[in-house]
Amino acid sequence: SLCSLKREMRKLAQEECGFEEPTVAMAFVYFEKLALKGKLNKQNRKLCAGACVLLAAKIGSDLKKHEVKHLIDKLEEKFRLNRRELIAFEFPVLVALEFALHLPEHEVMPHYRRLLQHS
Protein backbone atom coordinates (compact mmCIF):
# COMPACT_ATOMS: atom_id res chain seq x y z
CA SER A 1 0.00 0.00 0.00
CA LEU A 2 1.03 3.62 -0.43
CA CYS A 3 1.02 4.12 3.34
CA SER A 4 3.49 1.34 3.99
CA LEU A 5 5.62 2.58 1.10
CA LYS A 6 5.70 6.05 2.67
CA ARG A 7 6.77 4.47 5.97
CA GLU A 8 9.61 2.75 4.13
CA MET A 9 10.58 6.02 2.44
CA ARG A 10 10.75 7.75 5.81
CA LYS A 11 12.71 4.96 7.48
CA LEU A 12 15.23 4.80 4.69
CA ALA A 13 15.70 8.56 4.35
CA GLN A 14 15.75 9.45 8.05
CA GLU A 15 17.08 6.45 9.92
CA GLU A 16 19.42 4.96 7.35
CA CYS A 17 20.63 8.04 5.50
CA GLY A 18 20.24 10.73 8.15
CA PHE A 19 18.04 13.14 6.18
CA GLU A 20 15.94 15.65 8.11
CA GLU A 21 12.15 15.85 8.28
CA PRO A 22 11.81 18.63 5.67
CA THR A 23 13.45 16.39 3.06
CA VAL A 24 11.11 13.49 3.87
CA ALA A 25 8.12 15.85 3.82
CA MET A 26 9.13 17.02 0.33
CA ALA A 27 9.46 13.44 -0.89
CA PHE A 28 5.96 12.71 0.45
CA VAL A 29 4.48 15.73 -1.36
CA TYR A 30 6.11 14.65 -4.64
CA PHE A 31 4.87 11.10 -4.15
CA GLU A 32 1.30 12.19 -3.41
CA LYS A 33 1.28 14.50 -6.44
CA LEU A 34 2.24 11.56 -8.63
CA ALA A 35 -0.57 9.52 -7.06
CA LEU A 36 -3.10 12.32 -7.62
CA LYS A 37 -2.03 12.62 -11.26
CA GLY A 38 -2.66 8.89 -11.69
CA LYS A 39 1.00 8.16 -12.42
CA LEU A 40 1.45 5.36 -9.87
CA ASN A 41 0.83 1.71 -10.64
CA LYS A 42 1.95 -1.61 -9.23
CA GLN A 43 4.92 -1.80 -11.60
CA ASN A 44 6.36 1.64 -10.99
CA ARG A 45 5.39 2.71 -7.48
CA LYS A 46 8.67 1.68 -5.87
CA LEU A 47 10.58 3.43 -8.63
CA CYS A 48 8.39 6.49 -8.07
CA ALA A 49 8.99 6.37 -4.32
CA GLY A 50 12.74 6.01 -4.87
CA ALA A 51 12.87 8.85 -7.38
CA CYS A 52 10.89 11.11 -5.02
CA VAL A 53 13.32 10.46 -2.17
CA LEU A 54 16.27 11.04 -4.48
CA LEU A 55 14.88 14.32 -5.86
CA ALA A 56 13.92 15.61 -2.41
CA ALA A 57 17.37 14.74 -1.06
CA LYS A 58 19.07 16.57 -3.92
CA ILE A 59 16.88 19.65 -3.58
CA GLY A 60 16.60 19.71 0.21
CA SER A 61 20.19 18.91 1.14
CA ASP A 62 23.49 20.00 -0.26
CA LEU A 63 24.66 16.52 -1.19
CA LYS A 64 28.16 15.36 -1.90
CA LYS A 65 28.68 12.81 -4.65
CA HIS A 66 29.30 9.97 -2.20
CA GLU A 67 26.10 10.83 -0.30
CA VAL A 68 24.05 10.57 -3.48
CA LYS A 69 25.73 7.24 -4.20
CA HIS A 70 25.00 6.00 -0.67
CA LEU A 71 21.34 6.99 -1.03
CA ILE A 72 21.05 5.22 -4.40
CA ASP A 73 22.71 2.11 -2.90
CA LYS A 74 20.15 2.11 -0.08
CA LEU A 75 17.19 2.66 -2.41
CA GLU A 76 18.42 -0.11 -4.68
CA GLU A 77 18.78 -2.51 -1.77
CA LYS A 78 15.64 -1.61 0.24
CA PHE A 79 13.15 -1.13 -2.59
CA ARG A 80 14.82 -3.82 -4.72
CA LEU A 81 15.36 -1.41 -7.59
CA ASN A 82 17.78 -1.41 -10.46
CA ARG A 83 19.92 1.72 -10.07
CA ARG A 84 20.00 2.37 -13.81
CA GLU A 85 16.23 2.26 -13.94
CA LEU A 86 15.96 4.46 -10.85
CA ILE A 87 18.28 7.10 -12.27
CA ALA A 88 16.47 6.99 -15.63
CA PHE A 89 13.16 7.35 -13.80
CA GLU A 90 14.11 10.65 -12.20
CA PHE A 91 13.39 12.53 -15.40
CA PRO A 92 9.84 11.27 -16.08
CA VAL A 93 9.05 12.02 -12.42
CA LEU A 94 10.42 15.55 -12.87
CA VAL A 95 8.24 15.97 -15.95
CA ALA A 96 5.17 14.64 -14.12
CA LEU A 97 5.85 17.12 -11.31
CA GLU A 98 6.17 19.83 -13.98
CA PHE A 99 9.69 20.54 -12.68
CA ALA A 100 8.16 22.15 -9.60
CA LEU A 101 10.58 20.78 -7.00
CA HIS A 102 10.71 23.88 -4.85
CA LEU A 103 7.46 23.51 -2.96
CA PRO A 104 5.37 26.21 -1.31
CA GLU A 105 5.46 25.98 2.46
CA HIS A 106 1.75 25.19 2.80
CA GLU A 107 2.25 21.95 0.84
CA VAL A 108 5.14 20.73 2.96
CA MET A 109 4.04 21.82 6.44
CA PRO A 110 1.28 19.25 7.14
CA HIS A 111 3.70 16.41 6.40
CA TYR A 112 6.48 18.10 8.29
CA ARG A 113 4.30 18.50 11.42
CA ARG A 114 3.16 14.88 11.24
CA LEU A 115 6.75 13.68 10.90
CA LEU A 116 7.79 15.71 13.94
CA GLN A 117 4.95 14.20 15.99
CA HIS A 118 6.00 10.68 15.04
CA SER A 119 9.73 11.12 15.53
**The pLDDT value given to residue 119:** 61
Nearest to 93 by CA among 67, 59, 55: 55
pLDDT surpassing 80 at residue 62: no
Nearest to 56 by CA among 107, 118, 4: 107
Please tell me whether residue 73 adopts helix, strand or coil conformation: helix
CATH number, residue 45 = 1.10.472.10
pLDDT tens across 14-25, in order? 888 888 888 999
Q: Which domain holds residue 104?
A: 2-117
The domain tally of the chain equals 1
Is the pTM higher than 0.85?
yes
